[in-house]
Amino acid sequence: MSGAALGIEIVVVFFLALFLLHRYGDFRKQQRMVLFGTLLAWYLCFLIVFILPLDVSTVISLLIHLQPMYSVSPVLIEHKTVCEHIFCPFFQSTQRVCYKPWSYIPDGIMPVFWRVVYWTSQCLTWLLLPFMQSYARSGGFSITGKIKTALIENAIYYGTYLFIFGSLLIYVAVHPQWHLSWYELQTIGITAANTWGLFLLVLLLGYGLVEIPRSYWEASCQGHLLIKTYFKAAKLMTEKADSEENLEDVMEEVRKINESIKYNHPLRKNVDTILRKCPVEYQEKMGRNMDDYEDFDDKHNTHPTERSLSKLHKQVIYAVQRHNRTHVQWQILLEQAFHLEDVAKNETSTSRQFVHSFAPPEPVGWFRRYIYTPTVEWYWECLLKQWFYRILSVLLSLFSVAVVWSECTFFSTHPVLSLFAVFIQLAERDYNYLYIEMACFITIFFLCTCIYSTVFRIRVFNYYYLASHHQTDAYSLQFSGMLFCRLTPPLCLNFLGLIHMDSAISHQAKEQTAYTSIMGSMRVLSFIANGFYIYYPMLIVILCIATYFSLGTRCLNLLGFQQFMGDEMTSDLIDEGRELLRRERRKRQRIEDGESRRKEWRERYAQRDEIAGRNRTSMSEMKETNYGETLNSNTNRQVKYTPSSSQTGRDSIELLQDAEPLDFNAETLTDDPLQSEPGRHAGGRYFSMSSSRSRIFDDV
């Protein structure tokens, strides 16, 4: 099993990152470069989090093997799974046999692995992703133009870092007491990056430790959640109206440029590129109003430049993306609000059958037909779900308290006050490697959830916003990848400090993990290792208190940014959202009623058509039967009175004469080659044109 756990986790983490990217990104519309950069950044960060517990268990197994315990000396055995006590008569002592963990990774693999993962993520976050971010957001019409725009936008960004790095190098070279090697310079750079990441880490962690348990507790209160949904509906409708108005303004600019630049203009291909980014209905309107027969006249009209077209192209991409995002979010919010209203109605139901107000858009599958039946759905939505969320909220709150306590006391090694360090040391004494890995994984997974969920929740106006259902733009995707790459390394170092596996913080002579060896010794900068890394995480207590009392929300509300407060300050928006949802419910109800009526009429007319078709079929069968009988009788009669061959030719000529127009009269003919048979009228004369009407029924 050596190395098998590493390979399994590498594959699982890749599919996890791919799933999240599919949920937030759009594989069909977004650029491949954007998707690849974001996927690589997320994948490397998740990989660090999932592989670090294996590194910890491997180091602990080596510590147990190398550490002498007076009369008890450990012996590492590979192919056994339980601990034994072997009595040695010569030394009159007991040797404790410890065993290699199932996830043990051979020497030499983890250092190379961490080096590749860490430096790749740092190159992404500091060099490639900022450039790709500007490239994807550029409004250029060619690859060269986009690269030029990205370099210009990042010139200040890269120039600042080069200036700081060059100043440090000059200071070190001039200072006579400092003789830093390349390894120490590398450690200084890593320390600077981790310090910046730790600054953001504590801010996001302080918010997530309180907000995640509170969000599950609020989810258990259906009334509170419904009121909050009304508030979100009012805000989203305002944003939706703004996006539609912005799109109209941008499309008006596109229409003017489309009419001014004709088909033979040198910039016409750029205008066509802009038109392809517009919605289909606007493309059809502009296509109908386009007069391609008018030639380009450079003397009488003023035309935009390529730079202004690039700016307009950028505005079109942003306006269309925002419009589509608000439209999709509005539909999703409507479904959530209708579902919450259905839950409120079904709570008082005596039949214990969950009834939906509207039929599901998709056909019912086997899961809802046989497992998640209306009865099971009622018990889950109206009874069990609330208690499940409350219990989960209490457990997460206890975990948050343990994290806050450990963040404030992890620097104390005698006695050990960090709860997570106590748990790991207890498992270390019993050689329970599986427990060590699970404890490490649960702890770091909870920390990552608190931090990464905050990254997914925060919104910086309309510049950075991660929206699900494939509605996140390229800029936000790459910005999230940059944040992940900057937050994950200090997060792992903070976790190793919590369990006393970082010697730079715990000041213990222990075997370091492979990850810590890649980070370098923090003692090069003692004021950071002994000061900032120890005392700055204590600010998490203040941040948690501020988040609990919603100080940030209240400040934003005072500044004019409407936030949900749950009191009279937001009652107007709540009432507005409730009225909007009532209007949408009536609108959807009318649509469903119309569909049901049309379906009923189609079924009714289908039945009538089926009955009429059957009647027509039976009548046609009866007619065919009567016609067959008549045909048989006529055939028998013809057989009985068959004329000669000359008579057959005479009948043919009579048929041709009967085909003449109505004004044709055979009496005008003086030479009739055929003699009329007795009992037959002359050819070419119709009964209606006959001069004698007294014998009109003689042949009947």
* Residue range 507-560, pLDDT digits in tens: 666 677 888 888 765 555 666 767 777 888 889 999 999 999 989 888 888 888
Q: What is the mean pLDDT of residues 642-657?
A: 44
Between 88 and 401, name the one with better pLDDT. 401
Looking at every residue in the chain, the average pLDDT score rounds to 79
Between 92 and 351, name the one with better pLDDT. 351
Whether 643 is in a domain gets the answer no
Q: What is the pLDDT of residue 259?
A: 86
Between 657 and 388, name the one with better pLDDT. 388
CA pair distance 87, 89, nearest whole angstrom:
6
**Whether 471 contacts 452, CB under 8 Å:** no
pLDDT band at 18 (very low <50, low <70, confident <90, very high): very high
Cis peptide before 415 (omega within 30 of 0): yes
As given in the structure block, the two tokens for residue 49 are 């989090």
**Whether 653 contacts 683, CB under 8 Å:** yes
Domain count across the chain: 1
pLDDT band at 646 (very low <50, low <70, confident <90, very high): very low
Q: What is the pLDDT of residue 190?
A: 84
Percent of the chain scored above 70 by pLDDT? Answer: 74
Q: What is the pLDDT of residue 88?
A: 37
Q: What is the mean pLDDT of residues 146-169?
A: 82
Overall pTM surpassing 0.85 (yes/no): no
Q: What is the pLDDT of residue 624?
A: 55
pLDDT surpasses 80 at 623: no
| Beta-bridge partners for 74 | 96
Q: 47-56, 153-162, 163-172, 283-292 — which is least confidently predicted?
A: 283-292
Q: What is the mean pLDDT of residues 294-310?
A: 69
Which burial class, exposed, middle or buried, applies to 102 when counting CB atoms under 10 A from its CB (0-12, 13-18, 19+)? middle
Q: 64-78, 185-199, 470-484, 623-637 — which is least confidently predicted?
A: 64-78
pLDDT band at 667 (very low <50, low <70, confident <90, very high): very low
Of 260, 246, 273, residue with least CA distance to 140: 273
Q: What is the pLDDT of residue 301?
A: 59
Residue 366 φ/ψ, nearest 5 degrees: -70, -30
- Summarised one tens digit per residue, pLDDT across range 401-432 is 999 999 998 888 888 889 999 998 888 887 78
- The SS3 assignment for 458 reads coil
CA pair distance 359, 368, nearest whole angstrom:
13
pLDDT band at 583 (very low <50, low <70, confident <90, very high): very high
Q: Which of the given ranges, 174-188, 353-367, 570-584, 591-605, has the highest pLDDT on average?
A: 570-584
Q: How many CA atoms does the CB half-sphere of 321 hold within 13 Å?
A: 24
Whether 547 is in a domain gets the answer yes
Q: What is the mean pLDDT of residues 271-292?
A: 79
Between 175 and 266, name the one with better pLDDT. 266
Q: What is the mean pLDDT of residues 95-102?
A: 60
Domain extent at residue 200:
2-220+366-569
Whether 139 is in a domain gets the answer yes
Q: What is the pLDDT of residue 106?
A: 80
Whether 471 is in a domain gets the answer yes
Q: What is the pLDDT of residue 281?
A: 87
Task: Give 354's DSSP letter.
Answer: -
Q: How many angstroms separate the first and last alpha carbons of the chain?
A: 107
**Whether 456 contacts 466, CB under 8 Å:** yes
Q: What is the pLDDT of residue 594?
A: 86
Q: 372-376, 500-504, 684-688 — which is least confidently predicted?
A: 684-688
pLDDT surpasses 80 at 337: yes
As given in the structure block, the two tokens for residue 383 are 């009874």
pLDDT surpasses 80 at 16: yes
**Whether 96 contacts 426, CB under 8 Å:** no
pLDDT surpasses 80 at 452: yes
Whether 443 is in a domain gets the answer yes
pLDDT surpasses 90 at 636: no
pLDDT band at 433 (very low <50, low <70, confident <90, very high): confident
Q: 493-497: list long-range contacts, CB under 8 Å, 24+ apart.
A: 493/194, 493/198, 493/519, 493/533, 494/198, 494/201, 494/407, 494/447, 494/537, 495/52, 495/440, 495/443, 495/444, 495/447, 496/52, 496/56, 497/410, 497/411, 497/533
pLDDT band at 283 (very low <50, low <70, confident <90, very high): confident
Q: What is the pLDDT of residue 98?
A: 57
Between 26 and 365, name the one with better pLDDT. 26
CA pair distance 535, 542, nearest whole angstrom:
13
Q: Could you give the dihedral angle defined by the CA atoms of residues 404, 405, 408 and 411, in that order, rounded to the nearest 10 degrees?
A: -130
CA pair distance 405, 409, nearest whole angstrom:
6
pLDDT band at 506 (very low <50, low <70, confident <90, very high): low
CA pair distance 407, 404, nearest whole angstrom:
5
pLDDT surpasses 50 at 6: yes
pLDDT band at 208 (very low <50, low <70, confident <90, very high): very high
pLDDT surpasses 50 at 312: yes
Q: What is the mean pLDDT of residues 69-81?
A: 40
Q: What's the Cα-to-Cα distance from 90 to each of 76, 87, 93, rounded to whole Å?
A: 20, 9, 8
* H helices, E strands: number in the chain: 25, 5
- The SS3 assignment for 300 reads coil
Whether 313 is in a domain gets the answer no
As given in the structure block, the two tokens for residue 425 are 């040391």
pLDDT surpasses 70 at 643: no
CA pair distance 396, 288, nearest whole angstrom:
60
pLDDT surpasses 80 at 99: no
Q: What is the pLDDT of residue 690?
A: 41
pLDDT band at 229 (very low <50, low <70, confident <90, very high): very high
Question: What ranges in 220-267 are assigned the alpha helix state H?
Answer: 222-260
